[in-house]
Amino acid sequence: MKIYIYFILASFAPIACKAQSPIYDISEPSSGKIPGSYFKDLNELLDGYDGIYLYTKDNTSFKIALKKKVLSYGYHYQDLVVGEFQFIKNSIEIHNTLANININYIDEEINHLITGNRILKGNIYGCPDCLPTEKRLRLSFVDEKAHRIIGLDIRKTIVNNLPAINVTIFDEGSTTIFKVGDPRPPTPILEFGDYLMIKQ
């Protein structure tokens, strides 16, 4: 009987430990926090981004799928938005990982192509027409082809009474070093700039 009691207590130990992990708002810095802390979207700032969005112009299209993930495991637990995308240029598909958006990975931040949970407030970081209280979402991904970290700033908007997002794609400031005479690194998968994308 004693063995069964120990077994039952041992089964609940991981749950009890997780429940006692400190909870912080996603806007707080993670440095200095103990491993296993939970960075939670306490103010639901990551809500309202889920869905598939499409930009088209001439023979180019950019489609992005976004989904909020709760209690994603990593060095810390965290709520975040993950994404996958398809990019077609001159009617040729350059990249497509859209099918991966529905995969539930153990570590979402590492395995999904696009991830993040940084909230930008007001008109900082390239949004001069944003209202002082307006909030945007910053995501990023590693472009292994171009050896760069690519940033995506996402701003909610409405176009013809339809929900939409304005996505600004930019180089997050990573530097690629190469020797004189070496071939230049390839261009990024996604072209930098602004994309007005309508929710599908």
Rounded Cα gap, residues 79 and 196, in angstroms = 26
How high is the pLDDT of residue 182? 65
Half-sphere exposure of 68 (CA within 13 A, CB side): 13
pLDDT in tens, 56-72: 999 999 999 999 999 88
Tokens of 14: 């991981």
How high is the pLDDT of residue 173? 67
Q: Quick one: pLDDT band at residue 75, thresholds 50, 70, 90?
A: confident
Residue 161 phi/psi, 5-degree rounding, is 65, 15
Q: Is the pLDDT of residue 142 over 50?
A: yes
DSSP for 11-44? HHHHHHHHHTS-EEETTS--TTPPTT-EEE-TT-
Q: Is the pLDDT of residue 146 over 80?
A: no
Q: Look up the pTM and report it.
A: 0.81
